[in-house]
Every structure is written in C-alpha cells, then in structure tokens.
Chain A
Amino acid sequence: MKPVKVYGPGCKRCETTAQMIREAADRLGVQVTVEKVTDPREIAMAGVMSTPGIAVDGKLVHTGGLPDAAKLEGWLTA
C-alpha cells in the first residue's frame, strides 16, 4: 500500500486531483491509499503554499494546479 496525501482545502481541483490519482493507480495496478488533508495547519506544515499538493510515501512531489498525468504515473511507480 502506497500512502498518498492530497493537500487542499477541498476545492474542486483537489477533488479532481484525488480522482486522477485513484484512476492512475487503477491503471497501473498499484495499491494506494488516498488521504485528503484539508486542515490548513497540516497543509502549511507540509510546506504546501499553493494547492493542491501531493505527497507520495511522505515525500512532497507536487504543488499548485492539477498534476501532469505522465508525471503522476511516475510518482506512483517510483
């Protein structure tokens, strides 16, 4: 199980990002748990200044805007 966190206050783009991660994981056959972090304190603590941010295995890999689909697959398989 790969833990993936999506940081964002719950705006539409964060929802879309979480959905993209699930779909990419399904495509790749990778087991993931997607957790949405909406608490502003935790978002800030993670060092995310523009949302949505994505952390895979506890490592921040992306902030600001929807992720690129190809890169997303790269993070999930890394």
Chain B
Amino acid sequence: MTTDVSTPHPVRPEWPWHFGVAGFVVAWWLIYRQLAPASEWLVALLPVDRDTHTGEALAFFFYDVPKVMMLLTLIVFAMGVVRSFFSPEKTRALLSGKREGIGNVMSAGLGILTPFCSCSAVPLFIGFVSAGVPLGVTFSFLIAAPMVNEVALVLLFGLVGWQVAVTYLAFGLGIAILAGFVIGKLRLEGWLQDWVRDIHSGANAPVMPEGERLTMTDRYGLGIEAVREIFAKVWIWIIAGIGMGALIHGYVPEDLMARIMGADAWWSVPAAVLMGIPMYTNAAGVIPIVEALLGKGAALGTVLAFMMSVIALSLPEMIILRQVLTLRLIAVFIGTVASGILAVGFLFNLIF
C-alpha cells in the first residue's frame, strides 16, 4: 500500500495502463450489451420450454449471474482506485475534534470512501475514540461503512433499478448520520468498556511511515486487487443468492408474497427487521432475493428494511464490538439503528 521511498524505482510510463483501462471499459460495455440475447440463446439450447417455471428460472439465472459479475468488476475496480486516496488514518485526522452534526455527516460519507473491513472494526473504533473523534461521530462511520457499500449499490442498481439504488444510498446515509447523532446526544461515553476509556493509543502510537507517492499504476493495481478480493469472498454468495432468487422467481406464487410482505400488512416491516438481525450474509447474497421478492409483489419498504437489517445489524459484528462496548451500549446501538430502519420501511410503504 505504501511505496518504499528509499529504493529509487525506475519510472515506467503510465500510458499503457491508461490505455489498458480504457480498452477494458470499452470491451466491458460491448459485452454487457450482449448479455440478454446471449442468455436467451443459452436457454433456447437447453431442453426446457422457455415459458415454464423452469425455463423462467433458468433465464433469470443465466442473465443475472454474468450481469452482476460484470457490474461488480467495474464498480469494485473503480472504488478500489478511489479508496487508494483514503485511509483510516487520514479519515481519523479529518474527523478528530469535529463537532457533532457536521461531524456525523462527514463521518457517514467517509464511511463509504475509506477502506474498511469488519474484522478491523474494533481497532478502528479505539483508534477513532482515543484520538478525540466523538463517540456519536464514530458510530456514524461504523454504521455507514458496512451498510452503504458499493456491492450493495451495484447489485441494487443492476437487479432492481437505479431509483431504488439511489434511495438506498440516501436513506442508508441518513440512518448512519441520525443514529450516530442520537447516540452522541445521549452522552454514553461512560458505557464504553473501562479500558477503552483509559487508553490513549492514537496520540503516542508510532506513526506509520506514509509513503504517499502512489502512482496511478499503483492505484490501478489496488483496484485490481480489490476486484480479486471481492470475487474470492462473494462469488459463492452471489450464485447462492441468485439461485435462491431464481427459485422464488420461478416457483413462488405471486399473491403469496404480496400477502406476507405486501404494504397492507403493517407488521411485515418490524418482522422483516427482526428476521434480518440474526441473518448474516453480505449484500451480495441478499440482493438477488430482494429482487425476486419485489418481483413477486412484496412491498419495497418491507424488502429494504429486511435488507438493511441483514447488512447493518449482524450478530457477528456485535460480538466483535462487545470487546469495546458494554451490553447496554450495544443495545442502544441496535435500538437506534433498528428504529431508523423501521422508519425507512414504513415511510417507503407509505410513499410507493
């Protein structure tokens, strides 16, 4: 991630890389446009009738798997390049000592752009709090980072539509900002684990030698690395999720879903949030199901609430955070975020 400044490395021209990336984008676009006819052609080759449930499910599967994979490749690469301009250390410097309010807004935004892995949630939390980032502002970051991520947005865009993707982005950020703001206002610093309050890591910790001289080639490399990593991690979820979605698509009768998850059943939103908490999968696994549910007449608010709950409130993350937060603080965290998700769910069912 950091270039070693002590070794003078030969300056290679960067233009082959720029051309390579441009060529890739053009090729990507040409292939992407051919996906729908190609999938129909593939299903036509198989010995199933296109108009049966099986044919319907297969067409869905053969079209959506490559489409999602291609969209992910492009966007994850782009985000990998963008994220190479950010780091947790820089984000912390930007946020430390920020007032609440503006701090929450910045924090949620930076949560999307800063490289973050949920396995670093605890060191990052401590690093933020000990460097004077207010607790509520830290929470805004911790809520936004997993919830509003490019994988979720890409999948929503590709499978459901851009309107839903934009809405998800806006409301995801909104929940992160508001929930963090509320937690900040509650003044719960006393509810951290004792040792976290006493720690002063950030101030006297050794500062990383920041080799800031990344070339564009390095950044492209990081983008490719991000794609590789995402695929190693999520491909199985995508196949499983789309397979599941295909089953719902082909076999579940329409009115059943409308009855259970339709807008008329008021209890469906809280039920969806509750169901989502113990479920742990990433965005990649849950969105194909989301698409299929919507297609079968489930209400948008209910489905979004389910999705947000699955992604943002996960049991494993709570267990990790238990090391730094007391149970009371975790309860407040879950309560605040769940209320936000409930509000979004009801609001959507009301509007659409």
Contact = CB atoms under 8 A, between A and B. Distances in A.
Interface in B157-208: 195, 199, 201-202, 205-208
B130 interface: yes
A40 B126 contact: yes
Interface residues of B, number: 33
Contacts of B109: none
Contact of B4 (A41, A46, A74): A74
B47 interface: no
Contacts of A40: 122-123, 126, 323-324
A61 B72 CA distance: 32
A51 B127 CA distance: 12
Interface string A20-54: 00000000000000000000110111111111000
A46 B126 contact: no
Given A9-B122, A40-B323, A41-B195, A49 B115 contact: no
What are the 7 A-B residue pairs with the smallest beta carbon separation, nearest first?
A47-B205, A44-B126, A49-B127, A11-B119, A49-B88, A40-B122, A44-B201
Nearest to A70: B4
A21 to B, nearest CB: 16
Contacts, number: 84
B86 to A, nearest CB: 11
B8 to A, nearest CB: 13
A7 B122 CA distance: 12
B7 interface: yes
B119 A62 contact: no
Interface core residue of A9, A11, A62 (most chain B CB under 10 Å):
A9
A59 interface: yes
Contacts of A2: none
13 contacts: A8-B119, A9-B119, A11-B119, A40-B324, A41-B195, A46-B206, A47-B205, A49-B127, A50-B88, A50-B123, A62-B2, A64-B88, A64-B115
Given A41-B199, A74-B7, A46 B119 contact: no
Interface string B99-130: 00000000000000001110110111011101
Given A7-B123, A46-B201, A50-B116, 11 more contacts: A40-B122, A45-B199, A47-B206, A48-B123, A49-B128, A50-B88, A51-B117, A62-B1, A62-B208, A68-B1, A71-B4
Nearest to A78: B6
A63 B11 CA distance: 25
Interface core residue of A43, A46, A62, A64 (most chain B CB under 10 Å):
A64
A49 B206 contact: no
A51 B202 CA distance: 15
A3 interface: no
B218 to A, nearest CB: 10
B224 to A, nearest CB: 13
B40 interface: no
A60 interface: yes
Contact of A61 (B88, B123, B202, B209): B209
